[in-house]
Chains A and B, each alone.
Chain A
Amino acid sequence: MRLTYENNSKYKAMKEPVDESRDEVVIHFAGDSGDGIQLTGGQFTETVELFGNDISTFPNFPAEIRAPIGTLAGVSGFQLKFGSVEVFTPGDRFDVLVVMNAAALKINLKNLKPGGIIIANTAGFDNKNLKLAKYIDGANPLIDHSLDNYQLHAIDITKMTREALKEFGLSVKEVDRCKNMFVLGYVYWMFSQTPDNTIKFIRNKFKKNTEIAEANIKALKTGYNFGDTNETFKTRFRIKAASLPKGKYRNINGNSALALALVAASHKNDLDLFYASYPITPASDILHELSRHKNFGVKTYQAEDEIAAACAAIGASFGGSLAVTGSSGPGIALKGEAIGLAVMLETPMVIINVQRGGPSTGLPTKTEQADLLQAVYGRNGEAPMPVLAASSPKDCFDVAYEACRIAVEHMTPVLVLSDGYVANGSEPWQFPESKDLKEFNIHRPKGDEFVDEQYLPYYRDENHVRPWVVPGMKGYTHRVGGLEKEEKTGNVSYDGNNHELMVKIRAEKIEKIADFIPQQEINRGETGADILILGWGSTFGAIETATKELIEEGLSVAHIHLKYLFPFPSNLGELLKSFDKVVVPEMNRGQLTKLIRDKFLIDAQSISKVKGLPFTVDEIKEQVLKFREYANQK
């Protein structure tokens, strides 16, 4: 059956091309950061999701908002893998590369599979663009046969879009902005997808400017028709719907999932949500998302700096709100002292670190996992606190919700690690119903915390948790502070024995959280396999896929992915010791590896990548295979 749009019979009559069936396909859209690449990728994502494919996406853009046009530094990309099978990553190498200019080709060609398809806008390959893309002597790859090993679709997209839209009376600039829709239409045709959803989207987006809306739709249809009528392309791809578990789905990116979890945790537990933040890439979208939900009583506070954001959250926590501050590495460094205060006060608070490349300002728009040790150890004094990490965009919801639970139930700040990859990447999410969300056990005073009618703010339960008392509660006035406090009374104490006791109590309180989190499970493979691939955070998809493929290739490997990084699940040590070799792929220089070696005296080996980009499946497989000697040597 041919796909149609808007039930327009005109498109039904066309001749059938040759269909090629595929399980999964990787497409990479690339162009100038002003070319609308992110929107194009986003629309394609929505469409195939509605069709029923599983998908994983990865937007990759430059740090500059509008880097100089046509330059290598200005290339923006959107990669996605979609399939009829379960998809864990946006893919290593592309089947299809869409490039709007020479720079986009130059940067991305190395990751195109041999024989892969290139869709190139020839207008982006004029002398000026070739020079900007640093092609030697302006050599044009579209005509010099250097691309003979690929299927090249060289189309003057700019010209065809201008031609199609000439009766609209729009400026050249406005017309050229529609060329991404031509591309999208063309790609829809190529993958047997209907443009209907995007037409709906355009109508809604430009409902105040119908002329722009119609121009975009026209460009979209022109691109689609061009695929249909052009004699040169005979192959169309067909990717069947995936067999996802039954239920309701939506697309979600990591930052949105995180924001929704905070709203859900507060709403479900009748706590006011206070989110304090200072603008920083790639965490700002959490602030943007939350600021839209005032109808849930969400209080978002754009503070004067990172420190103020953390401290305002402490103030809000003292005042009884579910208090959260979010940032990225550099901002977390600034918040360090305040987080230490929250540890000392023993007040609930969630700190989100959407990691990026470091140190210092580093690579603001690129991803990395190099803040793990900062999260676990980055405060003065003995200041333990729970650390959790999200492994995928949708997992951000579960992890942030769980962080709120731990903070409130154990009266402690909790640090959540996300990163640029899961923050901006998206996937289908089988979202929960509010009735299925956990309710928190909030500790209020029971009445036995008094001596001589004096309230003891640091009187604890059997898990060392003190009650959450907030100003306004009569009969409980008390003072808290950053100075060491006497056990139970909370009065200032400089006594050495008391200090040692308090340090131990605070440490044990966090260690005991291990009794209130799930046991670690094996994500794939069996206990006692020869090689364990141990991961945390956003490497999940690549490790899971690599493990699956290695098992299929006959290797005895398993995958364990950690959500709880501090404290570790109580069975982790025993579990790890059942494997002959533990290897740890991380986008850092071996930080989890250090923690594992330190905690369990296991000779875990690091697989490191710090290129600002996620691991590819092949990179992990290749590195794991270096440890093949450990296979079958029990």
Chain B
Amino acid sequence: MQTKNKSNGHGETLTAKDFATDQDVRWCPGCGDYSILKQIQTILPSIKVPRENIVFISGIGCSSRFPYYMNTYGMHSIHGRAGAIVSGLKAVNPELDIWMITGDGDSLSIGGNHLIHLLRRNFNLNIVLFNNQIYGLTKGQYSPTSPKGQISKSTPFGSVDRPFNPITLALGSEGTFVARAIDRNPVHMREILSAAHDHKGASFIEIYQNCNVFNDGAFEEFTDKSLKDQNTLYLENGKPLLFDNDSKGIILEGFKPVIVDMDSYSPDDCWIHDEEDKIKASILAEFFDYTEERGKLPRPFGVFYKNQRNTYEQVFQDQIDLYRSKREADLDSLLSGNNFWEVK
């Protein structure tokens, strides 16, 4: 199960098509999930891992149908539990390249506990969270990421819940790679997916995904041609925070982000993005709520935070290797224990 082959798999060169299965894709026409499926199938040939070492594991929800459409190993499991299943799989088989596919209901509601512990433990795998701010498969209830006031089947007068900010949650759960992408920007999504795969540790990617049936236009301000420039901020490591075709920038006044006009500022004055700075990542993550005080901030996309930390499976295995080298595994002496006696 080596993953060092130069070409993908065992000397064969694969293409995106090789990762498609013979199963009909059953998402609604126009669903943002198609874009995510396409981008993942597109990047897989370039990650140089034999197909049989790749595993897609999902929970329940529209997004979680994903493994059926990937010609790799896969499991479509139960609601919210993909995080626990990938943990067990990675713990016993560290060489596998594991992708967990999940959604806002799956991982932020019913499976919230598993997500935070998965990030804390930092298994080396990829978590792709499709966020459409709605329960689509059950036909339109508000989700833990729906904005307050969302009208849905279960909230005809508007939801009264405050939504989760998945990026803050991931940072607070000690995630070592935290990023956001959006279905309508495939080039950027592929970059983020590849970066997530390259990161050694639990990589968390929130992907804004439009549910055109039950929550159409939820992310319109980030995708509509006339709106997206002023509302989106693409993060690049080591580069200043500029947006709206570089006409605006963000400076930090203490811990307070302020939007400035680039006519009167130079890029050097701006906040320079540092992926390894967790405090700044936390401030960036808060570009989420509108507040009167600081006005409307653009929504960041890209890698908020990235850092190296030991992976769970490595430390887990090292401990076993250490004790294996110290003490022989003699089953008979284990069975007899130290205090046995003989009846003659």
Residues of A within 8 A of B36 (CB): none
In angstroms, Cα B53 to Cα A517, docked, is 37
B216 within 8 A of A: no
A304–B331 CB distance below 8 A: no
B74–A248 CB distance below 8 A: no
Given contact pairs A263-B331, A264-B331, A337-B78, A294 touches B341 in the complex (Cβ within 8 A): no
Interface size on B, residues (CB 8 A): 64
B81–A338 CB distance below 8 A: yes
B residues 68-106 near A (Cβ < 8 Å) are: 68, 70-78, 81, 83-93, 95-96
A299–B320 CB distance below 8 A: yes
B88–A274 CB distance below 8 A: yes
Residues of B within 8 A of A631 (CB): none
Partner of B91, one of A250, A310, A316: A316
B residues 138-175 near A (Cβ < 8 Å) are: none
A321–B340 CB distance below 8 A: no
A246 within 8 A of B: yes
Partner of B53, one of A317, A472, A476, A491: A472
B339–A250 CB distance below 8 A: yes
Instruction: Name the residue on B nearest A276 (C-beta).
Output: B88
Given contact pairs A308-B84, A311-B84, A472-B96, A247 touches B89 in the complex (Cβ within 8 A): no
Partner of A318, one of B75, B95, B342: B75
Given contact pairs A308-B114, A491-B23, A296 touches B329 in the complex (Cβ within 8 A): yes
Residues of A within 8 A of B45 (CB): none
A residues 299-324 near B (Cβ < 8 Å) are: 299, 301, 303-305, 307-321, 323
A260–B335 CB distance below 8 A: yes
A311–B81 CB distance below 8 A: yes
Given contact pairs A267-B329, A432-B335, A479-B76, A319 touches B113 in the complex (Cβ within 8 A): no
Residues of B within 8 A of A305 (CB): 113
B117 within 8 A of A: yes
In angstroms, Cα B67 to Cα A492, docked, is 12
In angstroms, Cα B335 to Cα A264, docked, is 8
Partner of B331, one of A309, A434, A475, A478: A434
Residues of B within 8 A of A491 (CB): 23, 68
Q: Shortest distance in angstroms between B88's beta carbon and chain A's nearest beta carbon? A: 3
In angstroms, Cα B326 to Cα A432, docked, is 25
A268 within 8 A of B: yes
Residues of A within 8 A of B50 (CB): 474
B328–A295 CB distance below 8 A: yes
B73–A471 CB distance below 8 A: yes
B320–A294 CB distance below 8 A: yes
In angstroms, Cα B84 to Cα A263, docked, is 23
Instruction: Name the residue on B nearest A310 (C-beta).
Output: B84
B340–A249 CB distance below 8 A: yes
B342–A247 CB distance below 8 A: yes
In angstroms, Cα B93 to Cα A433, docked, is 30
In angstroms, Cα B242 to Cα A129, docked, is 76
Partner of A480, one of B74, B81, B331, B334: B74
Residues of B within 8 A of A268 (CB): 331
A473–B93 CB distance below 8 A: no
How many residue pairs bridge A and B at CB < 8 Å? 205
Partner of B73, one of A272, A432, A477: A477
Partner of A474, one of B10, B93, B116, B327: B10
A475–B324 CB distance below 8 A: no
B323–A479 CB distance below 8 A: no
In angstroms, Cα B81 to Cα A320, docked, is 19
In angstroms, Cα B81 to Cα A247, docked, is 48
Residues of A within 8 A of B113 (CB): 304-305, 308
B291 within 8 A of A: no
Instruction: Name the residue on A nearest B64 (C-beta).
Output: A481
A516 within 8 A of B: no
Partner of B85, one of A46, A297, A314: A314
Residues of A within 8 A of B21 (CB): 479
Give the most central of A250, A305, A470, A481: most B CB within 10 Å.
A481
Q: Mark B293-331, 1 if CB is under 8 A from A, else 0.
A: 000000000000000000000001001101110111101
Given contact pairs A316-B88, A321-B92, A472 touches B343 in the complex (Cβ within 8 A): no
Q: Mark B53-64, 1 if CB is under 8 A from A, else 0.
A: 111010010000
Q: Shortest distance in angstroms between B213's beta carbon and chain A's nearest beta carbon? A: 20
B336–A248 CB distance below 8 A: yes
Residues of A within 8 A of B268 (CB): none
B92–A245 CB distance below 8 A: no
Q: Shortest distance in angstroms between A605's beta carbon and chain B's nearest beta carbon? A: 40
Given contact pairs A338-B81, A472-B93, A294 touches B73 in the complex (Cβ within 8 A): no
Q: Shortest distance in angstroms between B109's beta carbon and chain A's nearest beta carbon? A: 14
Given contact pairs A308-B87, A337-B78, A482-B77, A434 touches B332 in the complex (Cβ within 8 A): yes
A320–B93 CB distance below 8 A: yes
B91–A274 CB distance below 8 A: yes
Given contact pairs A260-B335, A311-B81, A476 touches B91 in the complex (Cβ within 8 A): no
B344 within 8 A of A: yes
Partner of B52, one of A276, A312, A313, A472: A472
Partner of B117, one of A293, A304, A479: A304
Partner of B77, one of A276, A314, A316, A472: A314
Instruction: Name the residue on B nearest A301 (C-beta).
Output: B91
In angstroms, Cα B71 to Cα A87, docked, is 60
In angstroms, Cα B51 to Cα A475, docked, is 9
Give the most central of B71, B95, B114, B340: most A CB within 10 Å.
B340
- Pairs A–B under 8 Å by Cβ, sample size 7: A46-B339, A246-B344, A250-B339, A311-B78, A311-B114, A479-B21, A481-B68
- Chain B interface residues (CB < 8 Å from chain A): 1, 10, 21-23, 50-55, 57, 60, 67-68, 70-78, 81, 83-93, 95-96, 113-114, 116-117, 316, 319-320, 322-324, 326-329, 331-332, 334-337, 339-344
8 additional A-B pairs beyond A308-B117, A471-B53, A481-B75, beta carbons within 8 Å, are A295-B323, A299-B91, A315-B90, A337-B78, A433-B332, A471-B52, A471-B93, A472-B1
- Chain A interface residues (CB < 8 Å from chain B): 46, 49-50, 52, 244-251, 260, 263-264, 267-268, 272, 274, 276, 293-299, 301, 303-305, 307-321, 323, 337-338, 340-341, 345, 431-434, 454, 470-483, 491-492
The 5 closest A-B pairs by CB, nearest first: A315-B88, A312-B88, A481-B76, A311-B84, A315-B89
